[in-house]
Amino acid sequence: MLIFAWLRGLVRRRPGRLLATSAGVAIAVGLLASIGTFLSSSKAVMTQRASSSVPVDWQVETQPGADPGSVLQTVRTFPGISNATPVEFARTPGFTLTTGDTTQTTGAGVVLGIASDYAVRFPGVLRTLAGSRTGVVLAQQTAANLRATVGDTVTIARAGLPDASVRIDGIVDLPTADSLFQKVGAPSSAQLQAPPDNVLLLPDTVWHRLFDELSRSRPDLVTTQVHAAVTRALPADPSAAFGSVAAQGRNLELKLAGTGLVGNNLGAELDKARSDSLYAQILFLFLGIPGAVLAGVLTSTVAASGADRRRRDQALLRARGATLRQLVRLGLAEAVIVTVVGSAVGIGLAAIIGARTFGSATFGTRAATAVWWAAASVAAGLLVAVLAIARPAWRDARQLTVTAARRTVGRDHDPRWMRWCADLILLAGAAVVFWFTGRGGYKLVLAVEGVPTISVNYWAFLGPALAWLGGGLLFYRLAVTTLRVGRRPLGSVLRPFTSALSSTIAASMSRQRSLLGRGLTLVALSVVFAGSTSVFNSTYQVQAEVDAVLSNGAMVSVVESPGHDVHPSFADQLDHIPGVKSVTWVQHRYAYVGSDLQDLYGVDPATIVKATKLRDSYFQGGTASQLMARLAAQPDAALVSLETVKDFQLTPGDTLKLRLQDGNTKQFRPVTFTYAGVVSEFPSAPSDSFIVANAAYVAQATGSDTVGSFLIDTAHNDSSAVTRRVERVVGTTATVNDVASKRRKIGTSLTSVELSGLTRVELGFALVLAAAASGLVLWLGLAERKRTFAIAAALGATPRQLSGFIWSESVFVTAGGLIIGVFSGWVLTQMLVKVLTGVFDPPPSGLSIPWGYLALVGGIVLAGVLTAVALITRAARRPTTEMLRDL
Amino acid sequence: MNVAPIPGVPVVDAVDLRREYGTGSACVVALADATCRIFSGQQIALMGPSGSGKSTLVHLLAGIDTPTSGTVTWPALANEPHLRPGPIGVVFQAPSLLPPLTVVENVALPLLLGGASGAEGTAAAREALALLELDTLADKLPEELSGGQAQRVAIARVLAGNPKLILADEPTGQLDHETATRVIDVLIAATDASGAALLINTHDPVIAARFSVHWSMHDGALITTSEQATTRC
């Protein structure tokens, strides 16, 4: 009964306090529910994206001596198999095509035998470039090598058997050649470096006619695989999906009893995706948790701003005989009502965000998952409310006398943590953990060799977590120490604005340093949160774009088929295509550095800087433009990897003797270069060691200026449209890649975690937190002292003098919070970017500052403060009748 | 601002003062057409039950509230309409010291609000505290004082401004009898010394008995035997 009477009284008499505390809980619940559901949704999308990118889930290879028919039967009857068909592989010494007077012969190749409906059963394996996709089809690169077109007759060499001829019905691209020609069952280190250059696909009937005899005479040259698709009822989490698919594959191998090995392509893709999902989890922890904790601190501060009144209420109840248990129950009842209201608003807010941002209130994930996150968020909200309301009530009731509870200011003693320097210890701990994490290369996702599971290195979180905690406490220490020690200087600062009242205002502020310190800390933390989140997100987005351009080479790249001679002059044709801003060409060769075969890229230093973005972070020993100028000025200059520099103890100016393939004789011959700098990343280059040199020098030294790829900058034009135009010009002799498709393709790489959704949610909440931390907390803090201002007004304070009191506190809290917040935000962002190096590929050379958003945060903080101050000043100028009657 | 009272001229002159709260059917008449005058040196006890409009009248006479109708002027105080150190001092019923300021800072505050320098304000405040034998409490915070001490400090705050009119709104309402007697002693002694007018609002007949002029209020109507105060309902 007492509880209901108390709650009724609160609703009637203290609606502002209940609503403000509920608002804090709503922010915490809304943020957690949004980000948590978004995380689950992201994981499900990763699983879906990974599985949909695999055209052949399993490649089951029949082992020597086993019966292919039996293997096919076992696979077809295995639970969960939706589709299974045999694919034959036969190795050939080469293909020959005679056109007119010339005869082209390729090196060794592979002839596949596939069912007539293979392309329909496994869409994505073949991409038709010319003619038909059924019948006899030639891989694009082979067609380029043979200069073959549809209708030509190609001769297939067969080991120990007469050659056979077939008529070409079509030319196709094999986008998944790497997995198609994998060594089934071999570890990744033992896989082929590249798929075969020459591939011909035959209908299975034709293949059997041509190669059945070979399978009897040379079974070592022939293999049979079963290509299978599994039903895609996968768990939403990539880790769980991987575990399920891997176990299924092992189970099939067990059933095959040594007659077949499973190449688990689906498992391999999910394996990559689970690493991404862990990074998503990491980002959730790094970027989401601080926001939720901040919302919790905000709620506590909002609740604390009414603590004095609550203590006085409690003191009255105690004076009238209320027991400790009753007081705690009242506190809990208030916490529950605040949780119910706050959670309802928070969950509603999350649903609206989901619907507006992701088109679904459940953020695109299953309803059960969304409900789970909602329940978890409400539990967190309840915890926040209990800590903010019920715990202080319990503590006050246990520790304070009735008289002490009526006190509103008190002679502050430093809290224990300040005397123990807990803030400084925490920050020192953060620095030590950060340093140790740095020594380990900031590895957040651990994949231990030989262990199938991967895990998150949660120790790395300790650094930023300690920094947040230590920083928050340090902000408070700075604020209260300034107010305690700097009372006199503060009075001097205030004198021009508040005249003779300056010392009194400074004294008043000094004695309320706990209250003002909490306000300043909250403003600073909300600025740190908004600043670090937005700068990190902005840097991440920029790097994701850099990664896409780096992987693709440029906005559009034209990769020529090996053996297809294209010369730099072709760049002129590309240059005239509408939408093309500039074009450069890159030679791709192989060079022996000692016994190590490395990729060598010959570039035109003058044009490459125009056609693609070279970042300074790709190089050491000079900026990008300096090193390109060096390549231009000194044609034999070469940029090599850091590993090569260490292996060969190179110093700038050293002579480097490499062996490059001669364009005419195809023999490797020594070419002398001069070591000029280090390159770690380069457009379209692999992630391991490679060399960058001057194209003109390479052409002169090898007698060939054959181009490996053309890089095209489309400026702000639609790169996809330009790509289509370029494809029409280059025909089937080259592959044209668009940065937009690359962006989608790196959906399973480390930088793939789609941050834009998280960004919108986070930045939105950061704004709300900034507004609440400044305006709401300030307003509540001042509103609780309306009686004080009413007394001052009744004593004759003019509106200007009252404003002096209010503005002095507000400016201290806001300006102090902003200054400390901006500085600390910059430090924390640097730390975040360092610790999260793993999610950046390549690492950023600097932070990307979203000035517009930061200006918005500043504006919202100021607007919040101005509104709060205006409302309080207006109310204080003319005390209400109720206030006067209370005096 | 110190204003010398003009002999024969009322310190405060209220005519047909009316104060209503709310509108329409929720309208409450707290004070109905009260007319009164207070001259320098007068010591008046205003009596009446709770809710009769005593505090409302005090607030209107002090200039911290505005009447719904009627006029209030301060002819002897050069019509200084609002509270300023010097002309009018108000002692409130509830604790009215500012919690974050010490006793001496609280006492000096009205002087500083009136334009005195920090040093002048502090000196006057210490003098007023010494007068009431409160100088040992100068550096205490309000929450460290007893109810009686806090109320005496509030009186010291009024006296520090050397007012010509002191309005005390049930200053002993929350005090025990002994403390209440001391507070009234202090107020009477201070006004005797300065010649200021004193209106004290109380429902304690023992306290009222110490005053020569008695006014009373019932349901918003001011009733008095004195010629200087009348009411027309």
Per-residue pLDDT of A770-792, as tens digits, reads 888 888 777 777 777 777 888 88
Instruction: Indicate the residue of B59, B102, B114 with minimum beta-carbon distance to A796.
Output: B114
H/E stretch holding A472 reads: helix A459-485
B141 interface with A at CB cutoff 8 Å: yes
Tell me the C-alpha distance between A601 and A500, whole Å. 76
pLDDT band at A46 (very low <50, low <70, confident <90, very high): confident
Render the burial of A426-459: b for 16+ CB within 10 Å, e for the rest.
bbebbeebbeebeeeebebbeeeeeeeebeebee
Question: A661 near A668, Cβ under 8 Å?
Answer: yes
Which of residues 385 through 414 in chain A touch B, CB cutoff 8 A? 406-411
Q: What is the pLDDT of residue A424?
A: 94
- Mean pLDDT over residues A419-436, rounded? 90
pLDDT band at A755 (very low <50, low <70, confident <90, very high): low
Q: A878: left (phi > 0), else alpha (psi -120 to 50), else beta? A: beta
Instruction: Indicate the residue of B62, B101, B117 with minimum beta-carbon distance to A508.
Output: B101
CA dihedral over B58, B62, B68, B69, signed as positive or negative: positive
pLDDT in tens, A9-37: 888 877 877 888 888 889 889 988 888 88
Q: What is the pLDDT of residue A537?
A: 82
Render the burial of A570-584: b for 16+ CB within 10 Å, e for the rest.
bbeebeebebbebbb
**Inter-axis angle of helices A289-305 and A367-385, nearest 10:** 40
Residue type, B28: V
Q: Is the pLDDT of residue A587 over 80?
A: yes
What is the DSSP secondary structure assignment for residue A116, as one 8-state letter? Answer: T
Per-residue tokens: A508: 């008043």
Tell me the C-alpha distance between A105 and A93, whole Å. 10
Closest CA to B62 of B166, B212, B177, B174: B166
Question: B40 near B10, Cβ under 8 Å?
Answer: no
Residues pairing with A671 in the sheet: A658
Nearest CA in chain A to B21: A881
A507 interface with B at CB cutoff 8 Å: yes
Contact check, Cβ <8 Å, B112/A501: yes
B61 interface with A at CB cutoff 8 Å: no
Contact check, Cβ <8 Å, B100/A887: no
Q: Is the pLDDT of residue A844 over 50?
A: yes
Q: What is the pLDDT of residue B86?
A: 57
User: Higher model confidence: residue A358 or residue B42?
Assistant: B42
E-assigned strands of A680-820? 690-694, 709-713, 734-738
Tell me the C-alpha distance between A126 and A120, whole Å. 10
Mutation target vs A (from B55, B59, B90, B109; most A CBs, 10 A cutoff): B109
B63 interface with A at CB cutoff 8 Å: no
B68 interface with A at CB cutoff 8 Å: no
Question: A161 near A93, Cβ under 8 Å?
Answer: no
Q: What is the pLDDT of residue A753?
A: 52
Question: B149 near B134, Cβ under 8 Å?
Answer: yes
Instruction: Indicate the residue of B105, B113, B143 with minimum beta-carbon distance to A797.
Output: B113
Pairing assessment for the beta strands A58-62 and A222-230 based on DSSP bridges: antiparallel
Candidate ranges A421-430, A643-652, A742-751, A796-805; pick with highest mean pLDDT: A421-430
Nearest CA in chain A to B90: A795
Q: What is the pLDDT of residue A59?
A: 92
Per-residue tokens: B144: 């460290």
User: Higher model confidence: residue A420 or residue B174?
Assistant: A420
Planar angle of CA A580, A582, A584, nearest 5 degrees: 120
- Mean pLDDT over residues A542-553, rounded? 79
- Altogether, the residues listed in chain A come to a count of 887
Under 8 Å CB pairs connecting chains A and B tally to 84
Instruction: Indicate the residue of B99, B105, B117 with minimum beta-carbon distance to A409.
Output: B99
CA trace torsion A225, A231, A235, A240 (10° rounding): -20
- Hey, is A206 helix, strand or coil? helix
A800 interface with B at CB cutoff 8 Å: no
Q: Is the pLDDT of residue A311 over 70?
A: yes
Q: What is the pLDDT of residue B7?
A: 60
Mutation target vs B (from A308, A411, A504, A788; most B CBs, 10 A cutoff): A504
- Altogether, the residues listed in chain B come to a count of 233
Tell me the C-alpha distance between A875 and A297, whole Å. 28
Q: What is the pLDDT of residue B1?
A: 42
User: Higher model confidence: residue B13 or residue A720?
Assistant: B13
Tell me the C-alpha distance between A589 and B193, whole Å. 109
Residues pairing with A170 in the sheet: A131, A137
Q: What residues of chain B lie within 8 A of the CB of A792, using their CB? A: 98, 109, 113
Planar angle of CA A36, A42, A43, nearest 5 degrees: 95
Mutation target vs B (from A402, A508, A512, A795; most B CBs, 10 A cutoff): A795
Residues in contact with A436: Cβ distance below 8 Å, sequence separation at least 6, in sequence order: none
Contact check, Cβ <8 Å, A504/B112: yes
Within a 13 Å sphere around the CA of A639, how many CA atoms are in the beta-carbon half? 29
Closest CA to A84 of A262, A221, A254: A262
Q: Is the pLDDT of residue A842 over 70?
A: no
Nearest CA in chain A to B157: A795
Residue found under tokens 């207070």: B38
The residue ranges of chain B whose pLDDT is under 70 are: 1-7, 79-86, 224-233
Q: What's the ipTM?
A: 0.85
Contact check, Cβ <8 Å, A504/B101: yes
Q: Is the pLDDT of residue A839 over 70?
A: no
Q: What is the pLDDT of residue A339?
A: 92
CA dihedral over A148, A151, A155, A156, signed as positive or negative: positive
B173 interface with A at CB cutoff 8 Å: no
Tell me the C-alpha distance between A779 and A864, whole Å. 9
Q: What is the pLDDT of residue A751?
A: 46
What is the DSSP secondary structure assignment for residue A160, as one 8-state letter? Answer: T
Rg (C-alpha) for chain B, rounded Å, is 17
CA trace torsion A772, A793, A503, B131 (10° rounding): -140
Q: What is the pLDDT of residue B69?
A: 92
Pairing assessment for the beta strands A95-99 and A153-158 based on DSSP bridges: antiparallel
Q: What is the pLDDT of residue A881?
A: 61
Closest CA to A876 of A769, A766, A798: A798
Q: What residues of chain A lie within 8 A of the CB of B74, using their CB? A: none
Tell me the C-alpha distance between A462 and A440, whole Å. 14
Residues pairing with A454 in the sheet: A447
Tell me the C-alpha distance between A418 and A421, whole Å. 5
Which of residues 187 through 226 in chain B touch A, CB cutoff 8 A? none
Q: What is the pLDDT of residue A123?
A: 85
Q: Is the pLDDT of residue A101 over 80?
A: no
Residue found under tokens 């800087």: A609
Residues pairing with A114 in the sheet: A203
- Hey, is A133 helix, strand or coil? coil
Residue type, A68: P
Contact check, Cβ <8 Å, A794/B55: no
Mutation target vs A (from B58, B90, B112, B145; most A CBs, 10 A cutoff): B112
- Mean pLDDT over residues A721-726, rounded? 87
Closest CA to A711 of A544, A559, A578: A559
Residue found under tokens 């001057």: A694
Which backbone phi and psi does A315 adopt, to 5 degrees? -60, -40
H/E stretch holding A425 reads: helix A422-439
A650 interface with B at CB cutoff 8 Å: no
Q: What is the pLDDT of residue A167?
A: 93
Residue type, A241: A
Candidate ranges A354-358, A682-686, A861-865, B227-231; pick with highest mean pLDDT: A861-865
- Mean pLDDT over residues A520-539, rounded? 88
| % of residues, chain A, pLDDT over 90 | 21
E-assigned strands of chain B? 12-21, 28-38, 43-47, 69-73, 88-91, 165-169, 197-202, 213-218, 221-224, 229-231
Q: Is the pLDDT of residue A243 over 50?
A: yes
Closest CA to A76 of A84, A68, A67: A84
Q: Which of A115-119, A247-251, A379-383, A384-388 has the lowest mean pLDDT?
A: A384-388
Nearest CA in chain A to B65: A881
Residue B221 vs residues B10, B54, B166: alpha-carbon distances, Å: 21, 9, 22
Residue type, A814: T
Residue B89 vs residues A70, A283, A804, B145: alpha-carbon distances, Å: 109, 63, 23, 22
Q: What is the pLDDT of residue A131?
A: 82
B126 interface with A at CB cutoff 8 Å: no
Residues pairing with A155 in the sheet: A96, A165
Instruction: Indicate the residue of B93, B98, B116 with minimum beta-carbon distance to A791.
Output: B98
Instruction: Indicate the residue of A409, A507, A508 with minimum beta-carbon distance to B143.
Output: A409
Residue type, A467: A
CA trace torsion A858, A864, A867, A869 (10° rounding): -90
Q: What is the pLDDT of residue B77?
A: 78
Q: Which of A69-78, A240-249, A453-462, B37-46 has the lowest mean pLDDT?
A: A453-462
Contact check, Cβ <8 Å, A511/B101: yes
Question: B135 near B143, Cβ under 8 Å?
Answer: no
Q: What residues of chain A lie within 8 A of the CB of B108, using their CB? A: 504
A508 interface with B at CB cutoff 8 Å: yes
E-assigned strands of A204-301? 222-230, 260-264
Render the burial of A275-305: b for 16+ CB within 10 Å, e for the rest.
bbbbbbbbbbbbbbbbbbbbbbbbbbbbbbb
Closest CA to A712 of A752, A684, A687, A746: A684
Residue type, A736: V
Contact check, Cβ <8 Å, B102/A507: yes
Per-residue tokens: A852: 């517009």
Q: What is the pLDDT of residue A455?
A: 64
Instruction: Indicate the residue of A788, A801, A886 with minimum beta-carbon distance to B99.
Output: A788
A781 interface with B at CB cutoff 8 Å: no
Which pTM value belongs to this model? 0.75
H/E stretch holding A95 reads: strand A95-99
Tell me the C-alpha distance between B163 and B166, whole Å. 7
A879 interface with B at CB cutoff 8 Å: yes
Q: Average pLDDT, whole number, for chain A?
A: 83
- Mean pLDDT over residues A721-743, rounded? 80
Maximum C-alpha span of chain A: 115
| % of residues, chain A, pLDDT over 70 | 90
Question: A765 near A28, Cβ under 8 Å?
Answer: no
H/E stretch holding A447 reads: strand A445-447
- Mean pLDDT over residues A465-488, rounded? 91
Question: A155 near A221, Cβ under 8 Å?
Answer: no
User: Higher model confidence: residue A761 or residue A562?
Assistant: A761
